[in-house]
Structure 1
Amino acid sequence: MGHSHDHSAENNNKSDYQLAFAVFINVLLTAAQVVGGIFSGSLSLIADALHNLSDAAAIFIALIARKIGNKIADDNYHFGYKRAEILATLLNSTTLIVIGGFLIIEAIKSYFNPTPIDGWIVVWVAAIALIIDLATAVLTYFAGAKKSINIRAAFIHNVSDAMASVVVIVAGTLIILYQWYIVDLLATILISAYVIYHGVILLMQSCRILMQAAPADFERQNIISNLTSEFSLSKVLSLKAWQSDDNTTHCELVICADKTPDLDALKSYLHNNFAIEYCIIEIR
């Protein structure tokens, strides 16, 4: 067991370094994009810069939240600190929505006060941003995006940034070829709408967990039916499920049975078939 623990700690340290490096390169990229946006006159480039800055903040918050979430339960926090990561997701998703809304307002203002745009600066800076966005997305993916909604929020930040960079490159190219300056504003609105869309999705997911809703794929009636037949229960009076984080499901089960079932077997059945980690069982 000790070897396994050390291996897990080593993996966590490695992914923490990956996330820290992702923060560093995103901050550098933001500075480069802001300078490029100012000199080129491109609002979409500055929009992408602000999105990158939110990425750096999102990854930093995700990193801190994961460290807090790894703390063990104590006398004050009986269920541990895992929901620190859900709070981080809530904060990051809200930030996405606010930034997206701000950029749309700025795009509308710029439509009525147009300025010349240097398409070449836009294209080159956005191309560099695309490379860094893809590299950061890879870093956050391997740092645990599959297992944690917290890290997944940071990963989605970076994937949407990569897509935004592609949109900016297309806008800059059209400006160079056809002087279609309106494309820059349309690109800003498109990027912002995409940012808001993902922000809303993550906000809903984190709110479900904080409101102690059952997991989205929780089939209550199906579980009750299976339990009744598998363990010869007279009746399932109540089955309530909630999540302490995006990977751990708890439930409270109240049953009627003529003969007391094997509770360990029942809990194992719930774990193996329905991914319920912890269950409180009451027999009436």
Structure 2
Amino acid sequence: MSHNHDHSHGTENVSDGVLLWTVIVNLGLSVFEFVAGAISGSVALMADALHNTNDAAALLIAYIARKISRKGADEHYTFGYRRAELIGAMIQLTALILVGLYLVYEAVRRIFEPEPLLGGWIMAAAGVALIVDVITAWLLWSMSKGSLNVKAAFLHNLTDAGASVAVLLGGAAIYWLDWSWVDPVITLIIAGYILYMSSGMLKKTSRILMEGTPPELSVDEIKEALEALDGIENVHHIHVWELDEHHRALEAHVVIGEARSMEELESLKTTIKTHLDERFSIGHSNLEFESAGKSCHSRANEKHCNS
């Protein structure tokens, strides 16, 4: 365990540095867009600045959560702090859904109450914002593959790049064609994408925090697979959950047919754990062995199954 940590420490520090820089850059972009929006009188730029501010906050949460998640287990948190990233993802996704709903409101309002905008200023500011958003999303992309927390931050910036495109196109349409309706229509499309993607990730994050069974696993299939092993008569009281998106855990009562020595039980336990790891990618398992006559699975001892 400690060797793996030391081996990846340098890479993690680089990733943290990238994440921190994206926070700083996005805060700077927010200030720039607020100023540009005030000069041009553009509500669209102010809304995009609000979105960027939310992105900067989301990235800061992701940075802090990554730091906390690496703390080792202690007497207060015996599984460690790895779920801190999931909590960070939950906060980000909730905020992103609120931003999506706000964009829907703002787009609908502008359809019925169009406001004059300076197309040239909008295009210039949105162009700068788009460049920053694309660079930030590119930096986060490689980090997002193994973390819901960073993936949520990546999604924030990807959707913000889309919002910048919408503002840029809207500015161009206003500047050359006087099509003020383009901006709210594109904003509605982007808001719909934000809400669709965020709700799916929020569902996954919530399931892990609620210790739900991984969707690709079947408790019945696990039961059948274990009961097919030599020496096992029955498996019950099965609980399967995820500590985070990379670590699965299982708890089960295993009924054996006859009394065995400690060496035989240890050998059987090793066989079960190996089978769980290789077939179901369950790396942590807690097994309670019972003899057939004294199994809590029998009606006389059923109350002990819940202990």
Matching residue of 1:156: 155
SS of residue paired to 2:211: coil
- In structure 2, how many angstroms separate the alpha carbons of the residues matched to 1:117 and 1:32? 17
Decide which moves more: 120-129 or 147-156.
120-129
Decide which moves more: 22-31 or 161-170.
161-170
- In structure 2, how many angstroms separate the alpha carbons of the residues matched to 1:231 and 1:163? 57
SS of residue paired to 2:134: helix
Structure 1 unpaired stretches of 5+: none
**Paired AA for residue 127 in structure 2:** A
Larger radius of gyration: 2
What is the root-mean-square deviation of aligned Cα atoms in Å?
Answer: 2.1
SS of residue paired to 2:217: coil
Distance 1:175 1:234, change over 3 A: same
- Aligned with 1:282 (options 288, 297, 304): 288
Matching residue of 1:146: 145
Indicate yes or no: 2:209 matched with 1:210: yes
- In structure 1, how many angstroms separate the alpha carbons of the residues matched to 2:228 and 2:120? 69
Matching residue of 2:55: 55
Does the 8 Å CA contact 1:36/1:121 hold for their aligned counterparts?
yes
Matching residue of 1:97: 97
Indicate yes or no: 2:174 matched with 1:175: yes
Does the 8 Å CA contact 1:96/1:195 hold for their aligned counterparts?
yes
Matching residue of 1:254: 253
- In structure 2, how many angstroms separate the alpha carbons of the residues matched to 1:255 and 1:108? 59
**Paired AA for residue 74 in structure 1:** D
In the TM superposition, what whole-angstrom CA distance separates every residue of 1:153-185 from its partner, at most 9, and x where no partner exists? 111111122222222222222222321101122
Q: CA deviation at 1:277?
A: 1.7
Q: CA deviation at 1:231?
A: 4.2
Matching residue of 2:242: 243
In the TM superposition, what whole-angstrom CA distance separates every residue of 1:226-254 from its partner, at most 9, and x where no partner exists? 22224453222232111121211111122
Decide which moves more: 21-30 or 98-107.
98-107
Does the 8 Å CA contact 1:44/1:185 hold for their aligned counterparts?
no
Does the 8 Å CA contact 1:43/1:107 hold for their aligned counterparts?
no
Matching residue of 2:190: 191
**Paired AA for residue 197 in structure 1:** Y
Q: CA deviation at 1:108?
A: 3.2
Does the 8 Å CA contact 2:223/2:236 hold for their aligned counterparts?
no
In the TM superposition, what whole-angstrom CA distance separates every residue of 1:174-231 from its partner, at most 9, and x where no partner exists? 2223211011222333333322223322321221112111112223232222222244
In the TM superposition, what whole-angstrom CA distance separates every residue of 1:48-82 from its partner, at most 9, and x where no partner exists? 22222111111110110111111111111111111
SS of residue paired to 1:234: strand
Indicate yes or no: 2:66 matched with 1:66: yes
How many correspondences in the alignment? 283
- In structure 2, how many angstroms separate the alpha carbons of the residues matched to 1:131 and 1:21? 15
Decide which moves more: 58-67 or 258-267.
258-267
Runs (4+) off by over 6 Å: none
TM-score normalised to the size of structure 2?
0.84
Does the 8 Å CA contact 1:43/1:188 hold for their aligned counterparts?
no
Q: Percent identity?
A: 37
